[in-house]
Structure 1
Amino acid sequence: MNQPELYVRLGRTGLAVSRLALGTVNFGGRVEESDACRLMDYALDCGINLVDTADSYGWRVHQGYTEEVIGRWLRKGGMRDNVVLATKVGWPMGDGPNNLGLSARHIISACEDSLRRLDTEWIDLYQLHKMDRAVPWDEIWRAMDILAAQGKVRYIGSSNAAGWDLAAAQERAMRRGAPGLASEQCLYNLLVRQPELEVIPAARAYDIGVFVWSPLHGGLLGGALRKIAEGTAVKSAQGRAVPALEAHRSVIAEYERFCAELGREPAEVGMAWVLQRPGVTSLVIGPRTPEHVDGALRALHQPLSDGELERLDALFPPVGHGGPAPDAWLD
């Protein structure tokens, strides 16, 4: 299923990444290791080459567990050259004051730890998991320069950044003669359209790729009301989906009726919408079964019509007048 349209270049780089990324936050606690390995095998067989993780993932077992699972899978399968491996740094990894954040010390030591757990010599995309505005960009870029010179990191990305973070990062990198950020990973879905104001416009201006996490808002856009009624809800019965459901119950009900009219699963519709948004490079999915992967592939290969997109805009209107700031809220 290695169809050409499955791959795009990551921002301004020459790196080809799949439009679907296998997110691994559920590995450990929700997806056992044997099932996780089967999922990674299945995703790779379907042409998904981007595997996204973080050093802190696996906390339900222990921090770093998810990277260890991926490392054992890579070692056993011998497919490292076929995988674009992305991980993250920045969340606390211990109780000490230097075991978190984006200091040069923590970035470099955390990278060494991730390489060991992942059982690999290099990380394709090393992402700043959260902004640490107490650390100047010169220090962050100095640490990344060291790792890149050692061949341990190929590209740098950010996650959960503001638009002005992206601008600050790129301006400082350009002054240093460095490429800067290749990607930004942000929360974006039908319910959370704020990235359209500044994050995505900034990424497009600097030719930074955009990965989207939680495209279904923790399962809320994946048929939550139907699953709750059936007693089959998992993600939609916990986390950010719970308060959001109470606040948006009527529109979620209308959304599920609309999806039923289309004869499509709500999860497919929600993911298809994100994949068709301007500036979006890849969708980070968090499947627990191969069937979830199949649904994401259908979302990719069966885009929504203009009329269907307009209906979704009516159900989930953009912020203000839509489009980038400040025009979105100016009269």
Structure 2
Amino acid sequence: MQYTALGRTALQVSRVCLGTLNLGVRASEPDSFALMDTALDRGVNFFDTANQYGWQKHKGYTEELLGRWFAQGGGRREKVVLGTKVFNPMSDWPNDSGLSARHIIASCEASLRRLNTDWIDLFQMHHVDRQAPWEEVWQAMETLTLQGKVRYVGSSNFAGWHIAEGQEAAERRRFLGIVSEQSVYNLVTRHVELEVIPASRRYGVAVLAWSPLHGGLLGGALRKLADGTAVKTAQGRAAQALDRHREAVASYEKLCDSLGLDPAEVGLAWVMSRPGVTAPVIGPRDLAQLDSALRALELRLPDEVLAELDVLFPPVGNGGPGPEAWAW
């Protein structure tokens, strides 16, 4: 396993982050436990979840599942760098969502109970709250870190200027502030290259790429649809994107075949090759998908392949960061 620092911190995390969105939902609890045990045995020490995950059963279900897994002992909790999230509504009540100090602290306490742990390594703001002043957000996060309940604070789905604004506010308080940003990033969706990644690199913020295969679109979607084995590919963001990118996806799968490589591994290897990216957040449903993601760690795409991928899935504008991406 390869490890790297989480942004500007000294915390060491695996170059692959195990996302838990499918655990307990598309994978049974015993299979989820086996998958997490295998990931940990193979050196994956970075796990990501959110307070609302498992909403298909009930909000908080996935954290509860993780809590039951941690309760088995064997050093599971001590070995894992655990991230969860706060923002999305957990009920219909007006103060049970967002980034008010009240909700941040209450949400942390609830996550700790569900996760069966005393601390959260990375407490991530799942979305920017335009109604919450940064002074209020950082006051709550400082309280939780001083209490030892949170080690680091991250963001997710922030714009570049939100990262800059939040970090400047934290620095005025002499608080560590944001150490990671989790954004959707893959060959199809490259908007973060404009400002999010440049802002993150400027402030020493780790970039975690969620949906690195665009919901399965880049994992051999057309072949799976033809074989009748598609699961995620046949629904959600992948199905919608396939209508727009069918020709490019077909060429992508043909390129992967010519290289003798699995499309999912190529897609993950591309994300991991991007400057500023700390880890993709993978969401395996079974051990085969986990094995595929770990093989991608060893895959180095030649420059000519990277150039061909840029032709198939062009960057936004002129490529690279703004303003050069859209101006002279």
TM-score per shorter chain, which class? over 0.9
Percent identity (aligned)? 61
The equivalences for 1:184-203 within 5 A come to 184-203=181-200
Matched, 1:115 2:116: no
1:13 aligned partner: 9
The answer to which of 298-307 and 81-90 deviates more is 298-307
Q: How far is the alpha carbon of 1:102 from its aligned partner?
A: 0.4
In the aligned structure 2, how far is the partner of 1:216 from the partner of 1:86?
21
Q: Which of 266, 277, 280 matches 2:263?
A: 266
Q: Is the 8 A contact 1:18 1:49 kept in 2?
A: yes
Match for residue 32 of structure 1 among 25, 28, 36: 28
Normalised TM-score (structure 2):
0.99
Aligned ranges for residues 205-220 of structure 1 at < 5 Å? 205-220=202-217
Q: Distance in 2 between matches of 1:286 and 1:176?
A: 36
| SS of corresponding position for 1:301 | coil
Given the alignment, which residue of 153, 166, 170 partners 2:167? 170
Q: Secondary structure at the match of 1:240?
A: helix
- Calculate the aligned-residue CA RMSD, in Å: 0.7
State the SS of the aligned residue for 2:71: helix
1:17–1:84 Cα contact (<8 Å) kept: yes
- 5+ residue gaps, structure 2, are none
Q: Secondary structure at the match of 2:152?
A: strand
Q: Who is 1:321 aligned against?
A: 318
Q: Are 1:285 and 2:279 an aligned pair?
A: no
- 2-structure distance, mates of 1:250, 1:73: 43
Provide the residue aligned with 2:245 in structure 1.
Answer: 248
2:74 is the counterpart of 1:74: no
| Equivalent position of 2:128 in the other structure | 131
Q: Which runs of 5+ in 1 are unaligned?
A: none
Q: Are 1:57 and 2:53 counterparts?
A: yes
Match of 2:142 in 1: 145
Is 1:43 paired with 2:17?
no
| Offset of residue 27 of structure 1 | 1.6
> Any runs of at least 4 consecutive aligned residues in structure 1 with deviations exceeding 2 A, and if so which?
none
Residue 244 of structure 1 aligns to which amino acid in structure 2?
A
1:28–1:60: 8 Å Cα contact kept in structure 2? no
1:152-208: CA deviation from partner (whole Å, max 9, x where unpaired)? 000000000000000000000000011110100000000001100000000000010
> What is the TM-score when the length of structure 1 is the normalising length?
0.98
Hey, what's the Cα distance between the residues in 2 that align with 1:239 and 1:319? 23
Secondary structure, in 3 states, of the residue corresponding to 1:284? strand
CA offsets, 1:11-45, max 9 Å, x none? 11000000101000112321111111011001001
